[in-house]
């Protein structure tokens, strides 16, 4: 693959007091990574050196930059996105670490917006430490949706066995029902269907819809959302060409291994989807934000404060997030080239 064709993958450093820098270093220490992409870390040399020393790993080549430009192929590029030295307190919830995480994320998003990079992989943030006047969001998904002009991106957890999307994300359980309505569910199903086609190359995706209530409402005996919201939304989505089935009782659905028989599952709330997903995918799952004009993936774990600096964090999920970002960027690039060729051929035929 030529240097000009290599996908440029931006990486935000996450909370410097957690395992984010560790899994980044472990992933990029494998020199073969630069054969597939051009990595661009938005962080600082002192943060990476600190974590590298705690891990007692060897040095890996860094191409240092002040701004997001003139990336060097074959090396790991580091954009100095943090202003000055960052105090690191492993395992601590600290506003200074939160500020550094935000500065890294903002700088990476600027590069994504300016098309200096092709995709973004985000290391974990701590939702409490990052809160500030600039960041008042429950997490990455909501921030990115706001930043790139969408009401709400769709969180898709993807792994070797299954894919799970969430109708509601970081919403308290006692507010889930109030967030559900037919229009919203139809839009989630549309975005999920489109992403499965565009980003995962599935021609005719089959989607399973989870019920909200125990036993999917049991015909209205245990809640009526299935009858009043979910079933009508499914019918509308089917009219729009979405192959959706359900609503299924979540316990029996996962208990019978049905999650692996569909191209994706749309769960109604966070734990309904993530508990079975993380049980099945262990530490290799990836979080992908669909429905945005940009590409963002992340590992499906948090900051891991309890093991920070102990060389215990597995890089598997972050590595898979990196590879998925590369794959989706390539698919979108191929689709764009295909559409351009179709337009050229159409113009020739008309002339």
**Residue 136 Cα to chain centre, angstroms:** 19
Q: Quick one: CATH architecture of 152-291?
A: 3-Layer(aba) Sandwich (3.40)
More confident residue, 344 or 123: 123
- pLDDT reading at 8 higher than 90: yes
What's the pLDDT score for residue 215?
95
What's the pLDDT score for residue 9?
98
Residue 12, SS3 per DSSP: strand
Superfamily of domain 1-150+292-351: Isopropylmalate Dehydrogenase (3.40.718.10)
pLDDT tens figures, 98-119: 999 999 999 999 999 999 999 9
Using a 10 angstrom Cβ sphere, with 0-12 exposed, 13-18 middle and 19 or more buried, the burial of residue 211 is buried
What's the pLDDT score for residue 68?
86
Residues 6+ apart with CB under 8 A from 89: 17, 97
Q: Does this chain's domain 1-150+292-351 share its CATH topology with 152-291?
A: yes
What's the pLDDT score for residue 333?
87
What's the pLDDT score for residue 133?
93
Average pLDDT value for residue range 169-178: 93
**Could you give the residue ranges of the DSSP H alpha helices within the chain?**
20-28, 33-36, 45-55, 95-113, 140-147, 176-179, 182-198, 225, 231-239, 250-255, 270-281, 316-350
Q: Domain-by-domain residue ranges, the chain?
A: 1-150+292-351, 152-291
What's the pLDDT score for residue 58?
67
60-64, 172-176, 241-245, 329-333: lowest mean pLDDT where?
A: 60-64
What's the pLDDT score for residue 339?
65
- pLDDT reading at 345 higher than 70: no
């Amino acid at each position: 693959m030529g240097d000009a064709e290599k996908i440029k993958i931006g990486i935000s450093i996450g909370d410097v007091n957690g395992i984010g820098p560790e899994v980044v270093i472990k992933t990029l220490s494998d020199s073969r990574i630069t054969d597939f992409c051009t990595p661009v870390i938005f962080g600082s040399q002192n943060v990476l050196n600190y974590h590298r020393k705690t891990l007692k790993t060897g040095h890996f080549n860094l191409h240092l930059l002040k701004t997001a430009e003139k990336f060097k192929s074959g090396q790991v590029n580091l954009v100095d996105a943090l202003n000055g030295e960052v105090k690191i307190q492993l395992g601590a919830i600290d506003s200074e670490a939160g500020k550094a995480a935000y500065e890294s994320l903002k700088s990476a998003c600027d590069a994504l917006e300016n098309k200096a990079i092709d995709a973004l992989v985000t290391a974990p943030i701590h939702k409490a430490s990052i809160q500030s006047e600039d960041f008042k969001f429950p997490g990455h998904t909501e921030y990115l949706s706001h930043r790139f002009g969408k009401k709400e991106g769709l969180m898709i957890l993807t792994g070797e066995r299954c894919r799970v999307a969430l109708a509601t994300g970081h919403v308290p359980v006692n507010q889930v029902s109030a967030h559900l309505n037919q229009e919203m569910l139809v839009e989630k199903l549309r975005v999920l269907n489109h992403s499965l086609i565009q980003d995962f190359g599935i021609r005719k995706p089959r989607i399973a819809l989870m019920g909200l209530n125990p036993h999917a409402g049991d015909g209205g005996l245990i809640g009526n959302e299935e009858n009043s919201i979910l079933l009508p939304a499914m019918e509308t989505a089917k009219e729009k060409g979405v192959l959706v089935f359900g609503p299924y009782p979540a316990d029996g659905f996962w208990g019978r291994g049905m999650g692996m028989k569909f191209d994706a599952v749309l769960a109604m709330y966070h734990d309904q989807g993530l508990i079975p997903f993380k049980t099945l995918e262990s530490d290799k799952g990836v979080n992908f934000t669909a429905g945005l004009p940009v590409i963002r993936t992340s590992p499906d774990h948090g900051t891991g404060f309890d093991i920070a600096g102990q060389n215990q964090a597995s890089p598997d999920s972050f590595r898979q997030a990196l590879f998925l970002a590369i794959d989706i960027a390539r698919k979108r690039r191929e689709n764009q080239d295909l559409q351009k060729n179709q337009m050229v051929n159409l113009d020739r035929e008309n002339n």
